[in-house]
Structure 1
Amino acid sequence: MEKSFKTYDFKSNETIASIGASGGVWEIYFASQVDGLTFYLQDIDEKLCNDEEIKEGILFYEKFLNKSIQGKFIPVIGSETQINLPESTFDKVLIINSFHEFLFPKEILDDCKSILKKGGMLFIEEQLAQYEGEIHEGCLKPLYLENELIAFVENCGFVLQRIVDKGNAVKIFCFI
């Protein structure tokens, strides 16, 4: 999580969208490290992405870290084709270990383009396939090869800035 935190380079008062965030476990941790962050936690599953789940996550981290978390967390339910977030609002969009699960990735990336502020960044943190057709152990969906993921996102209008290797076939792709 530390390598992700350093890569995302959060600044106080930023507004961040996290797509496929469930209850925001990673985002709550990030907010424990930088005050004044606002996270829109977006998911398609109301059972995982709701105020109750977020409150449980906040309580866990406050107890674990022995400190108050000053971030703001807004759950948003989307659909398979729309993320339902406001346009030109976000400094950063995070997709953490979710991209391979999208049934309509082009539509989601089109939405991501529209919600980013000018100069905003898209971060896709993803486990990558080591061979063609490799399946993710958790969700049993196919993983992307690195060159496939980059080509797909670039074809949707984003420009790759850098790649951070986290090890264990997980990389963070930073796009503008």
Structure 2
Amino acid sequence: MKQLLDHFSWKPSDTLLSLGCGSAWWEVNLLLHRPCRDIILVDPNTQILSMEAVQESIDYFEKKLSLTFSTQVQIYHSPLAQVPIADQSVDGLFVFNAWHELAPIEEILPALKRIIKPGGWILLEEELSVDLRRIHEGCAQELYFQEEIDRQMASIDFQLSQKLVKEKQTFYLKYVNC
């Protein structure tokens, strides 16, 4: 997480969105270190994403870090294209180890283009296929090659602006809305 905080930033006035966020464990931890105004959490799994689960994460990290969580939280279980988010109202979007699970991508990409402000960004933390097509161990979905994600992002006028190695085949990829 330190690498993420050292290399990527957002403003306290920003509205951020996390897609496929699960119980928002990573988001709560990040936003305790660097708050934003609002975080919109989107995950279809009602068993994992709930206000109670988010509050448990907040309580845990507030106690562990002796910090106070100040970001406003909104939760949605709908597909992104159906979430009532105003056009160009999101400053940045996180997808932590979930891009390979998002479907149908042809519906998600236009929704991203619609809601993210000009100059806004998408930050993926994603395990990639590098030499050969690989399968994600946890969900059995095929992992993308970076070139495939680059083409998806280019189709909605987002360009790669930063790439960092997290682990051997896991990367942070930041795309900016041109």
When normalised by structure 1's length, the TM-score is 0.91
Runs of 4+ in 1 over 3 A off after TM superposition: none
Cα distance between partner residues in 1 of 2:106 and 2:124: 14
Report how far residue 25 of structure 1 moved.
Answer: 0.8
Secondary structure of the equivalent of 1:109?
Answer: helix
Secondary structure of the equivalent of 1:57?
Answer: helix
Report how far residue 148 of structure 1 moved.
Answer: 1.9
Cα distance between partner residues in 2 of 1:5 and 1:145: 25
Report how far residue 107 of structure 1 moved.
Answer: 1.4
Report how far residue 40 of structure 1 moved.
Answer: 0.4
Structure 1 residues 121-174: Cα deviation after superposition (integer angstroms, max 9, x where no partner): 111221111343310011111101122221222233322222122222111111
Secondary structure of the equivalent of 1:159?
Answer: strand
Q: Show the counterpart of 2:56.
A: 56
2:31 equivalent to 1:17: no
Cα distance between partner residues in 1 of 2:109 and 2:153: 7
Secondary structure of the equivalent of 1:82?
Answer: helix
- Seq. identity, %: 23
**What does 1:25-174 correspond to in 2, within 5 Å?**
25-79=25-79, 82=81, 84-86=83-85, 87-174=87-174
Letter in 2 for 1:136: H
Residues 16 and 36, structure 2, Cα contact 8 Å, conserved in 1: no
Secondary structure of the equivalent of 1:44?
Answer: coil
> CA RMSD of the aligned region, Å?
1.7
Secondary structure of the equivalent of 1:175?
Answer: strand
Secondary structure of the equivalent of 2:158?
Answer: coil
Residues 39 and 73, structure 2, Cα contact 8 Å, conserved in 1: yes
When normalised by structure 2's length, the TM-score is 0.90
Structure 1 unaligned runs (5+)?
none
Report how far residue 67 of structure 1 moved.
Answer: 2.3
Cα distance between partner residues in 1 of 2:82 and 2:37: 20
Pairs aligned (count): 175
Flag the 1:142–1:83 CA change in 2: closer, same or farther, 3 A.
farther
Cα distance between partner residues in 2 of 1:128 and 1:107: 22
